[in-house]
Structure 1
Amino acid sequence: MIRLKVWRKQKHITSFELSGHAESGPYGYDLVCAGVSAVSFGAVNAVIALCGIDLEISQQQDGGYLHVAIPDITERKVGDEVQLLLEGMLVSMETIERDYSQFITIEQK
């Protein structure tokens, strides 16, 4: 099972962590894992490329773990853009969870 934990402070996403494996299909053909990976790495790459923010990223080489922390952002417009991209990621993840709840769970703290 994939677990997505999202931490918030005053409604703003401050970090998120993905752990586990969906195991919804054979290795290389696991559509849930592929979808979660595409959404999460797409959001991380978008924040870095479009907002110019250096995120604090921790991951395991063999997959199955990603932790991303958002640094303090002093420029409000940039902070709002980062939050919009991360909220978009969360909406996509919730869509995956709705259709494949036996393989992914989301917890917000």
Structure 2
Amino acid sequence: MINIAINRKSSGMIQSFTISGHAFFAERGNDIVCAGVSAVSVGAINAVHTLTGITPEIEQNEDGFLRCVIPVNLPEETNEKIQLLLEGMVVSLQTIEEQYGQHIKMTFKKQEVE
């Protein structure tokens, strides 16, 4: 199963997300759930970088692990753009989860103190 954790600040803004695991929907190379999650998450990271000039902290490996952390203390306008892009990613991932819930699970965590 693909596990996705969306980590929010107490204000509700997305600070980071982590994706791990494998969908096991189909054979490697034919797994549309894995491909969809990868396309949406990497596309969101690329959009953040291209459209805002901000490079998030990225950690990934070939075992299906991806972690993205948004830098702190960004200008408000930049942060608003980043949040919109990341919220769009969340909606897309939730849509995949609705269709393929036995292969993907999303959780949301809220930081108590900023």
Same fold judged by TM-score > 0.5? yes
CA distance in 2 between partners of 1:27 and 1:98 (Å):
22
For residue 58 of structure 2, what is the aligned residue in structure 1? 57
Shift of 1:73: 3.8
User: Structure 2: how far apart are the matches of 1:31 and 1:3?
Assistant: 16
Q: For each residue in 1:10-64, what CA deviation from the matched residue of structure 2 results, as whole angstroms up to 9, or x when unmatched? A: 100000000000010011000000000000000000000101101000001x241
4+ runs deviating over 2 angstroms? none
Distance 2:104 2:36 in 1: 11
Overall identity of the aligned pairs, in %: 49
Other structure's SS at 1:108 match: strand
Residue equivalent to 1:32? 33
What is the TM-score normalised by the length of structure 1?
A: 0.97
| 3-state SS, counterpart of residue 101 of structure 2 | coil
Q: What stretches of structure 1 of length at least 5 have no aligned partner?
A: none
Distance in 2, matches of 1:99 and 1:55, equals 29
Q: How does 1:11-50 map to 2 (within 5 A)?
A: 11-50=12-51
* 2:98 is equivalent to residue 98 of structure 1: yes
The DSSP-based 3-state class of the residue aligned with 2:19 is strand
Structure 2, unaligned stretches of length 5 or more?
110-114
Aligned residue in 2 for 1:77: 77
